[in-house]
Amino acid sequence: MGAVQIQAQDIHVGNIVWLRENDEVPCDLVLIGTSDTQGLCYVETAALDGETDLKTRVIPSACMGMDFELLHKIKGVIECPNPDKDIRRFDANLRLFPPFIDNDLCPLTIKNTLLQSCYLRNTEWACGVAVYTGNETKLGMSRGIPEPKLTAMDAMIDKLTGAIFVFQIVVVMVLGIAGNVWKDTEARKQWYVLYPIEGPWYELLVIPLRFELLCSIMIPISIKVSLDLVKSLYAKFIDWDSEMIDQDTGIPSHATNTAISEDLGQVEYILTDKTGTLTENRMIFRRCCISGIFYGNESGDALKDVKLLNAVAGSSPDVVRFLTVMAICNTVIPIKSKTGAILYKAQSQDEDALVNAAARLHMVYVNKNANILEIRFNGSVIQYEVLETLEFTSDRKRMSVVVKDCQNGKIVLLSKGADEAILPYAYAGQQTRALVEAVEQYAQLGLRTLCLAWRELKEDEYQEWSLMFKEASSTLVDREWRIAEVCQRLEHDFEVLGVTAIEDRLQDGVPETIETLRKAGINFWMLTGDKQNTAIQIALSCNFISPEPKGQLLLIDGKTEGEVCRSLERVLLTMRITSSEPKDVAFVVDGWALEIALKHYRKAFTELAILSRTAICCRVTPSQKAQLVELLKSCDYRTLAIGDGGNDVRMIQQADIGVGISGREGLQAARAADYSIGKFRFLKRLILVHGRYSYNRTAFLSQYSFYKSLVICFIQIFFSFISGVSGTSLFNSVSLMAYNVFYTSVPVLVSVLDKDLSEGTVMQHPQILVYCQAGRLLNPSTFAGWFGRSLFHAIVVFVITIHAYAFEKSEMEELSMVALSGCIWLQAFVVALETNSFTILQHLAIWGNLVAFYVINWVFSAIPSSGMYTIMFRLCRQPSYWITMFLIVAAGMGPVLALKYFRYTYRPSKINALQQAERMGGPILSLGNIEPQPRLMEKEVSPLSITQPKNRNPVYEPLLSDSPNSTRRSFGSGAPFDFFQSQSRLSSSYSRNCKDN
Amino acid sequence: MTNTDRERHRERETAFYLFTQQRLPACKPVLTPAWVITIFLFTGFIFIPVGLVTLRASRSVVEIVERYDTECVPEPFRIDKVSYVQDDSIPKNCSLSLKVRKYMKAPIYIYYQLDNYYQNHRRYVKSRSDRQLLHGWKYHATSSCQPVEFNNNQPIVPCGLIAWSLFNDTFTFIRERAELKVNRKNIAWKSDRDHKFGKTVYPFNFQNGTLIGGGKLNPRIPLSDQEDLIVWMRTSALPSFRKLYGRIEEDLDADDVVVVHLMNNYNTYGFGGKKKLVLSTSSWLGGKNDFLGLACVFVGSSSVILAIVFMLLHLKSRR
Question: Any bridge partners for residue B97, and if so which?
Answer: B259
Quote the CA–CA distance of A884 and A879 in Å, as a whole number. Answer: 9
Chain-centre distance of CA B314, in angstroms?
A: 47
* Same domain membership, residue A526 and residue A607: yes
Contact call for A190 and B118, based on CB within 8 A: yes
The answer to whether position A224 is within a domain reads: yes
Quote the CA–CA distance of A784 and A790 in Å, as a whole number. Answer: 10
Domain ranges of chain B: 31-61+287-318, 63-281
pTM score = 0.78
pLDDT tens profile A187-230? 888 888 888 877 788 888 888 999 999 998 898 888 888 899 99
Question: Any bridge partners for residue A867, and if so which?
Answer: none
* Same domain membership, residue A756 and residue A870: yes
Answer yes or no: are the C-beta atoms of A782 and A703 closer than 8 Å: yes
At residue B294, the pLDDT reads 95
The mean per-residue pLDDT over the stretch A582-589 comes to 80
The mean per-residue pLDDT over the stretch A32-41 comes to 81
* Same domain membership, residue A423 and residue A564: no
- Mutation test of the interface with chain A: which of B123, B159, B197, choosing the one with the most A Cβ atoms within 10 A? B123
Quote the CA–CA distance of A880 and B175 in Å, as a whole number. Answer: 34
Residue B269 sits at the chain A interface (C-beta within 8 Å): no
Query: A932 falls in which pLDDT band (50, 70, 90)?
Result: very low
The answer to whether position A322 is within a domain reads: yes
Query: B12 falls in which pLDDT band (50, 70, 90)?
Result: low
A631 vs A429: which has the higher pLDDT: A631
At residue A169, the pLDDT reads 94
CB-side exposure of A249: number of CA atoms within 13 Å? 12
Q: Is A808 helix (H, G, I), strand (E, B) or coil?
A: coil
- Mutation test of the interface with chain B: which of A190, A809, A838, choosing the one with the most B Cβ atoms within 10 A? A190
List the strands of the sheet with A495-506, edge to edge.
A293-295, A279-290, A495-506, A448-457, A411-417, A398-405, A380-390, A372-377, A363-369
- Please determine, for residue A977, whether its predicted confidence score (pLDDT) is greater than 60: no
* Same domain membership, residue A509 and residue A499: no
User: Cβ atoms within 10 A of the Cβ of A896, count?
Assistant: 19
pLDDT tens profile A690-742? 999 999 999 999 999 999 999 999 999 999 999 989 889 999 888 998 898 88
Across A389-403, A914-928, B57-71, B194-208, the highest mean pLDDT is recorded for B57-71
Quote the CA–CA distance of A705 and A431 in Å, as a whole number. Answer: 74
Query: A52 falls in which pLDDT band (50, 70, 90)?
Result: low
* Distance between B28 CA and the closest CA of chain A, angstroms: 4
Torsion of CA A944, A950, A952, A958, to 10 degrees: -150
The answer to whether position A534 is within a domain reads: yes
Backbone CA torsion sign across A418, A424, A427, A433: positive
User: Cβ atoms within 10 A of the Cβ of A638, count?
Assistant: 23
Answer yes or no: are the C-beta atoms of A2 and A19 closer than 8 Å: no
Domain CATH for A422: 3.40.1110.10
Answer yes or no: are the C-beta atoms of A54 and A41 closer than 8 Å: no
Residue B32 sits at the chain A interface (C-beta within 8 Å): yes
pLDDT tens profile A53-95? 667 788 887 777 777 777 877 888 888 888 876 777 788 888 8
- Mutation test of the interface with chain A: which of B22, B269, B271, B288, choosing the one with the most A Cβ atoms within 10 A? B22
Q: Please report the residues numbered 192 through 211 in chain A whose beta carbons come closer than 8 angstroms to any beta carbon of chain B.
A: 192-196, 210
- Mutation test of the interface with chain A: which of B192, B292, B296, choosing the one with the most A Cβ atoms within 10 A? B292
* Distance between A972 CA and the closest CA of chain B, angstroms: 23
At residue B265, the pLDDT reads 87
* Same domain membership, residue A334 and residue A459: yes
Of A270-274, A837-841, B140-144, the poorest mean pLDDT is in B140-144
The mean per-residue pLDDT over the stretch B41-68 comes to 94
Mean pLDDT over the full length of chain B: 88
Last residue of a domain, which of A89, A121, A143? Answer: A143
Quote the CA–CA distance of B141 and B14 in Å, as a whole number. Answer: 59
How deeply is A629 buried, as exposed, middle or buried, from its count of CB atoms within 10 A (0-12, 13-18, 19+)?
Answer: buried
* Same domain membership, residue A834 and residue A898: yes
Answer yes or no: are the C-beta atoms of A814 and A870 closer than 8 Å: no
- Please determine, for residue A922, whether its predicted confidence score (pLDDT) is greater than 80: no
Taking every pair of C-alpha atoms in chain B, what is the biggest distance, in angstroms?
96
pLDDT tens profile A8-35? 788 888 888 888 888 888 888 898 888 8
**A138: closest CA among A120, A114, A115, A108?**
A115
Contact call for A192 and B285, based on CB within 8 A: no
The answer to whether position A595 is within a domain reads: yes
Angle of helix A222-240 relative to helix B2-20, nearest 10 degrees? 110
Q: Please report the residues numbered 106 through 145 in chain B whose beta carbons come closer than 8 angstroms to any beta carbon of chain A.
A: 109, 111, 113, 117-125, 130
Query: A963 falls in which pLDDT band (50, 70, 90)?
Result: very low
Q: Is A239 part of the annotated catalytic residue set?
A: no
Cis ω for the linkage preceding B147 (within 30 of 0): yes
Q: Is A524 helix (H, G, I), strand (E, B) or coil?
A: strand
- Please determine, for residue A803, whether its predicted confidence score (pLDDT) is greater than 90: yes
At residue A895, the pLDDT reads 94
User: Cβ atoms within 10 A of the Cβ of A10, count?
Assistant: 10
At residue B59, the pLDDT reads 92
Residue B274 sits at the chain A interface (C-beta within 8 Å): no
CB-side exposure of A145: number of CA atoms within 13 Å? 3
- Please determine, for residue A828, whether its predicted confidence score (pLDDT) is greater than 80: yes
Quote the CA–CA distance of A269 and A258 in Å, as a whole number. Answer: 21
At residue A613, the pLDDT reads 83
- Please determine, for residue B299, whether its predicted confidence score (pLDDT) is greater than 80: yes
Quote the CA–CA distance of A596 and A605 in Å, as a whole number. Answer: 10
Amino acid at B232: W
Contact call for B295 and A800, based on CB within 8 A: yes
Last residue of a domain, which of A143, A172, A191? Answer: A143
* Distance between A818 CA and the closest CA of chain B, angstroms: 12
From the list B239, B242, B285, which residue is nearest A879 (CB)? B285
List the strands of the sheet with A92-96, edge to edge.
A76-79, A92-96, A106-108
SS (H, E, C) A908-923: CCHHHHHHHHHHHCCH
Please give the DSSP secondary-structure letter assigned to residue A329. S
Domain CATH for A23: 2.70.150.10
Chain-centre distance of CA B206, in angstroms?
A: 26
From the list B120, B270, B287, which residue is nearest A812 (CB)? B120
* Same domain membership, residue A555 and residue A446: no
**What secondary structure does DSSP assign to chain B, as a single string?**
-HHHHHHHHHHHHHHHHHHHTT---EE-----HHHHHHHHHHHHHHHHHHHHHHHHHHHH--EEEEE-TTTTS-GGGTT-HHHHHH-TTS--EEEEEEE--S-BPSPEEEEEEEES--TT-HHHHT---HHHHHHGGG----GGGTTSSEETTEE-BS-SHHHHT----EEEEEETTEEPPEE-SS-S-HHIIIIIS-SS---BSTT-SS---S----TTS-GGG-HHHHHHHS-BSSSSEEEEEEEE-S-B-TT-EEEEEEE-----TTTT-EEEEEEE--BTTBS---HHHHHHHHHHHHHHHHHHHHHHHHHHHH-
Contact call for B237 and A894, based on CB within 8 A: no
Contact call for A807 and B25, based on CB within 8 A: no
At residue A950, the pLDDT reads 33
Domain CATH for A650: 3.40.50.1000
At residue A955, the pLDDT reads 28
The answer to whether position A187 is within a domain reads: no
Query: A160 falls in which pLDDT band (50, 70, 90)?
Result: very high
The backbone region for A50, taken as left when phi is positive above 0, alpha when psi lies in -120 to 50, beta otherwise, is: left
At residue A981, the pLDDT reads 34
**What secondary structure does DSSP assign to A128-188, as a single string?**
EEEEE-GGGSHHHHHT-PPPPP--HHHHHHHHHHHHHHHHHHHHHHHHHHHHHHHIIIIIT
User: What share of chain A in percent tops pLDDT 90?
Assistant: 23
How deeply is B143 buried, as exposed, middle or buried, from its count of CB atoms within 10 A (0-12, 13-18, 19+)?
Answer: exposed
pLDDT tens profile A437-459? 888 888 878 788 889 998 988 88
* Same domain membership, residue A902 and residue A793: yes
At residue A942, the pLDDT reads 32
- Please determine, for residue A943, whether its predicted confidence score (pLDDT) is greater than 60: no
Residue A377 CB partners (closer than 8 Å, separation 6+): A320, A323, A324, A362, A363, A364
At residue B235, the pLDDT reads 92
Quote the CA–CA distance of A49 and A54 in Å, as a whole number. Answer: 12
At residue A936, the pLDDT reads 32
From the list A753, A808, A816, which residue is nearest B237 (CB)? A816
Residue B244 sits at the chain A interface (C-beta within 8 Å): yes
The mean per-residue pLDDT over the stretch B236-240 comes to 93
Answer yes or no: are the C-beta atoms of B149 and B204 closer than 8 Å: no
Quote the CA–CA distance of B268 and B167 in Å, as a whole number. Answer: 10
From the list A196, A810, A837, which residue is nearest B241 (CB)? A810
From the list A753, A810, A920, which residue is nearest B22 (CB)? A753
The answer to whether position A352 is within a domain reads: yes
Contact call for A728 and B313, based on CB within 8 A: no
Q: Burial code of A283-322, b = ≥16 C-beta within 10 A, e = fewer? A: bbbbbbbbbebbbbbeeeebbebeebbebbeeebeebbbb
**A584: closest CA among A514, A488, A635?**
A514
* Same domain membership, residue A664 and residue A547: yes
The answer to whether position A312 is within a domain reads: yes
How many domains is chain A built from?
4
Give contacts of A919 with chain B, Cβ < 8 Å: 28, 30
Across A71-80, A574-583, B251-260, the highest mean pLDDT is recorded for B251-260
- The one catalytic residue among A273, A419, A674, A754: A273
At residue A957, the pLDDT reads 27
With CA atoms as reference, the chain A residue closest to B189 would be A870
**A727: closest CA among A136, A74, A175, A26?**
A175
Query: A960 falls in which pLDDT band (50, 70, 90)?
Result: very low
The answer to whether position A1 is within a domain reads: no
- Please determine, for residue A814, whether its predicted confidence score (pLDDT) is greater than 90: yes
Q: Is A334 helix (H, G, I), strand (E, B) or coil?
A: strand
- Please determine, for residue A937, whether its predicted confidence score (pLDDT) is greater than 80: no
ipTM value for the complex? 0.94
At residue B5, the pLDDT reads 65
Amino acid at A8: A
**A618: closest CA among A515, A544, A507?**
A544
Quote the CA–CA distance of B114 and B241 in Å, as a whole number. Answer: 6
| Domain of A440, in residue numbers | 282-503
Please give the DSSP secondary-structure letter assigned to residue A868. T
